[in-house]
Amino acid sequence: MVQSIQNWFQQLAETHTKWNFIFFYDPVQWERFVSGLWMTIKLSFICLILSVIIGIVGAWAQGAKNPFVRWFVQGYIQFFRNTPPLVQLLFFYFALGQFTPTYSPDGWLEIPIISNVGWAIISLSFFAGAFNVEIFRAGIEAVPESTTEASEALGFSRLQTYMYTVFPLAFRVSLPALNNNLVNLVKTTTQAMAIAVPELLYEMVSIYNDYSTAQNASMLVLFISYIVLVGILVLAMSRWEKALQIPGVGEA
């Protein structure tokens, strides 16, 4: 089965020289494609989780009594929302990367404790996180003040009110917008290529740099791969949205 698929693509490359899907029959290139895809999935997944955590904490901090905390969150949002993510990535890796400590496994090499993958995760998480703070804030504002008051009147602290009432309600309101932002995040992971993170785009570009006949094929497979990845995410999110639905909540 696998053999026949490989043969078919090899045949195709011979008859149509502009459509060389080399990664589907050459085991070495296949390895590159798969490792790139896996890196993209890992990168997306980790950044997704971190950015949501940043969003939750940030939205909580935005309501803090201390004005410095609020200004800090506001400054963070303004910076990450109003500058290009690619510039942020380069800044993190090249500027901040210089100041991070290094370690030496063999006495000769100097390896920074934060790798390029590490910087990509940090940079992309903060980028998407800034939007998530705003998304959750909008959700929190949609929770009626009276519901919060009822919770306070029962003796709940501000943190308990946020955890048990405000956030669960705000989250449901925020899901569609969060969905959009996370889709964007998955697509933005391609920018990690700029600091040589071996994700899918990086690997595919490397392949067609090595085999120019594979260019069209690589592009096509790139598009399809992202459509599938984002499709899975959107499907999972809308399932989640349905699962969280409660009679009388968010219908008005």
Partner 1 sequence: MSTDWTPDQPLVSIQNVHKSFGDLEVLKGVSLDVRQGEVICIIGPSGSGKSTLIRCINALNDIQSGSIKVRGIEVNDKSLDKLQLRKNVGMVFQQYNLFPHKTALQNIMMAPVKVLKMDRQDAMEKARALLKKVRLEGKEDSYPGELSGGQQQRVAIARSLAMNPQVMLFDEVTAALDPETVKEVLTTIKDLAAEGMTCILVTHEMGFAREIADHIYFTDRGVIIEHGPPATFFDQATDPRTQEFLGQIL
Q: Which stretch binds partner 1 (CB under 8 A): 12-20, 103-111, 130-138, 140-148?
A: 140-148
Q: Report the chain's terminal Cα–Cα distance, integer Å.
A: 54
Paired tokens of 114: 């934060």
Question: What is the spatial distance between Cα 7 and Cα 218, in angstroms, rounded to a whole number?
Answer: 18
Task: Return the number of the residue (106 or 251) whose C-beta is nearest partner 1.
Answer: 251
What is the nearest approach in angstroms of partner 1 to the Cβ of residue 35?
42
Paired tokens of 163: 């955890």
Q: Does 147 bind partner 1 (CB under 8 A)?
A: yes
Task: Please classify residue 211 by burial: count the beta carbons closer than 10 Å to its beta carbon, then call 0-12 exposed, 13-18 middle and 19+ buried.
Answer: middle
What is the nearest approach in angstroms of partner 1 to the Cβ of residue 160?
6
Residues 6+ apart with CB under 8 A from 219: 204
Task: Select the residue interacting with partner 1 from 119, 172, 179, 208 (CB under 8 A).
Answer: 172
Task: Select the residue interacting with partner 1 from 155, 212, 242, 243 (CB under 8 A).
Answer: 155
CB atoms within 10 A of CB 137: 20
Task: Return the number of the residue (100 or 147) whose C-beta is nearest partner 1.
Answer: 147
Q: Which stretch binds partner 1 (CB under 8 A): 29-37, 108-116, 162-170, 203-211?
A: 162-170
What is the nearest approach in angstroms of partner 1 to the Cβ of residue 133?
22
Please state the φ and ψ torsions of residue 103, each to the nearest 5 degrees.
-130, 165
Task: Select the residue interacting with partner 1 from 62, 123, 132, 165 (CB under 8 A).
Answer: 165
| Residue reference for tokens 């090595």 | 210
The footprint of partner 1 on this chain (CB under 8 A) covers a number of residues equal to 23
Paired tokens of 55: 């969003």
| Chain residues 178-237 in contact with partner 1, contact rule CB under 8 A | none
Task: Using alpha carbons only, give the angle 63, 64, 67 rounded to the nearest 5 degrees.
Answer: 110
Task: Select the residue interacting with partner 1 from 74, 160, 213, 225 (CB under 8 A).
Answer: 160
Amino acid symbol at 216: N
What is the nearest approach in angstroms of partner 1 to the Cβ of residue 134?
22
| Residue reference for tokens 């008051």 | 149
Residues that bind partner 1 (CB under 8 A): 144, 146-147, 149-157, 160, 164-165, 168-169, 172, 246-249, 251
